[in-house]
Amino acid sequence: MKTHSELGNPVHIAMSLIGGRWKGEILFQLMDHGMLRFAEMQRLIPGISQKMLTRQLRALEHDGLVRRLVYPQVPPKVEYSLTDTGRTLQPVLTALRDWGKDHGAPRVGKILSAENPLSGETPNPE
C-alpha cells in the first residue's frame, strides 16, 4: 500500500511518460526521420550523452512509445522508430512545442519586463 502517489491524474501520467530533458526532442526526431540509429540520434540531438540517450530510449521503449530493432551484427546496429502509440503523441508534442515557441522562450531565464510587474499586490479587501 502506497501512502500517496495515487497516480490517477492523466496529465501527470502523460508527463511521466514524455517529460524530462530529452524525451520530447527524441520523439520529435523519430517523427521527422521515421527510423534512426543510435549514433544518428546523438548527432541530431546536440548535447545529449550516451547515458541519457540510452536511458531515455529504454524508458520510452518500456512505455511502449518507441520500438527497438537490434541487428545481430558486428559491429552492432540498432534502429529506433515510433510505435503506433508513439505516433499518437504528435499533436501533443506539437502543441507543447508551439506553446514553447510563443510564450515560453521569451520568459525563460529572463523575467518579464512590462507585462506583470507586480507580484504580491495588496488590494483593499472590502
Partner DNA sequence: CCGTATCCGAGCCGATACTG
Partner DNA sequence: CAGTATCGGCTCGGATACGG
- State the binding partner of 122 from DNA, a second copy, none, CB within 5 to 8 A by kind: a second copy
| Residue from the set 9, 35, 50, 90 that interacts with DNA by CB under 7 A | 50
- Please list every residue from 19 through 58 that binds a second copy, using CB under 8 A: 19-22, 24-25, 28, 46-47
CA distances for 47 relative to 15, 64, 103, angstroms: 22, 25, 24
What's the burial of 29, exposed, middle or buried (CB within 10 Å: 0-12/13-18/19+)? middle
| Residue from the set 17, 18, 27, 56 that interacts with DNA by CB under 7 A | 56
103/110 Cα distance (integer angstroms): 12
Please, what's the b/e burial string for 85-103 (b: 16 or more CB within 10 A of its CB; e: otherwise)? ebeebeeebeeeeeeeeee
Query: Which is nearer to DNA, 111 or 114 (by Cβ)?
Result: 111
Count of CB atoms within 10 A of residue 48's CB? 18
| Residue from the set 41, 74, 93, 114 that interacts with a second copy by CB under 8 A | 93
| Residue from the set 12, 35, 50, 54 that interacts with a second copy by CB under 8 A | 12
**Site for a second copy contains 81 (CB under 8 A):** no
CB of 59 to a second copy, least distance (A): 12
**Site for DNA contains 61 (CB under 7 A):** no
